[in-house]
């Protein structure tokens, strides 16, 4: 059988979610994180049992990502906050900021030193009303840059493998590339129907 014809088999069903599931990052120590409403569930993949429940949000979590070094978990959601969790102690480290809009996307840089978060509402910028992406320094827990350019909600974020570029995808039907060092937009691709 070729790789393209490989059949997949379900090896486990993790039961215990009470709502839609957003995000399922797997850590290097065999844990899977999933969202159930306003809680993050940590599962042991070997035993297939619930290991911990992380509570810090008050409304549904829509975005979840783990740092590449597997030390941190970031979450964002309808309660308009981005949170940072310690995966070893399973404790909330901090709430990075209260925004005026729902957080739809979070992503760590490859070196686990930055966290990007994308929201929904437009903010007044020098370029008019634009949706923003926040870049956070993990060590200082401070906002380092605000990237403005999208016209609608930012649905997904991803860093390049070298961490120098951030890609963002929005409901405005554009994909944008950002220079992380300068915060400037370097490319825009628009979907045209």
Would you say residue 8 lies in a domain?
Answer: no
Would you say residue 105 lies in a domain?
Answer: yes
Q: Could you tell me the pLDDT band of residue 15, with boundaries at 50, 70 and 90?
A: confident
Q: Could you tell me the pLDDT band of residue 94, with boundaries at 50, 70 and 90?
A: very high
pTM: 0.86
Q: Could you tell me the pLDDT band of residue 125, with boundaries at 50, 70 and 90?
A: low
E strand spans, the chain: 31-36, 39-44, 49-55, 61-66, 72-77, 81-86, 91-98, 105-108, 114-125, 128-137, 142-150, 154-159, 165-170, 174-179, 185-190
pLDDT digits (tens, 9 = 90+) for 96-120: 876 778 899 999 999 999 999 998 8
Find the domain containing 126 and state its range: 17-190
Mean pLDDT over the full length of the chain: 88
- Of the two residues 17 and 179, the one the predictor is more confident about is 179
CATH number at residue 154: 2.130.10.10
Would you say residue 10 lies in a domain?
Answer: no
Would you say residue 11 lies in a domain?
Answer: no
pLDDT digits (tens, 9 = 90+) for 163-176: 999 999 999 999 99
Would you say residue 2 lies in a domain?
Answer: no
Q: Can you give the pLDDT at residue 31? A: 86
Mean pLDDT of 10-20: 72
Would you say residue 109 lies in a domain?
Answer: yes
């Amino acid at each position: 059988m070729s790789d393209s014809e490989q059949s997949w088999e379900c090896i486990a069903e993790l039961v215990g979610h009470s709502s839609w599931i957003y995000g399922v990052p797997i850590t290097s120590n065999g844990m899977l994180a999933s969202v159930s409403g306003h809680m993050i569930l940590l599962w042991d993949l070997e035993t297939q049992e619930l290991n911990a429940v992380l509570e810090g949000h008050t409304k549904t979590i829509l975005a979840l990502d783990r740092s590449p070094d597997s030390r941190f978990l970031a979450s964002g959601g309808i309660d308009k906050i981005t949170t940072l969790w310690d995966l070893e102690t399973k404790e909330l480290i901090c709430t990075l900021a209260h925004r005026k809009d729902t957080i739809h996307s979070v992503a760590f840089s490859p070196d686990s030193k930055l966290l990007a978060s994308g929201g929904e509402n437009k903010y007044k910028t020098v370029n008019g009303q634009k949706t923003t992406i926040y870049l956070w320094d993990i060590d200082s827990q401070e906002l380092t840059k605000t990237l403005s350019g999208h016209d609608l909600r930012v649905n997904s974020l991803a860093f390049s493998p070298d961490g120098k570029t951030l890609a963002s995808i929005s409901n405005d039907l554009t994909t944008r590339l950002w220079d992380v060092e300068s915060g400037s937009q370097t490319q825009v691709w628009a979907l045209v129907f």
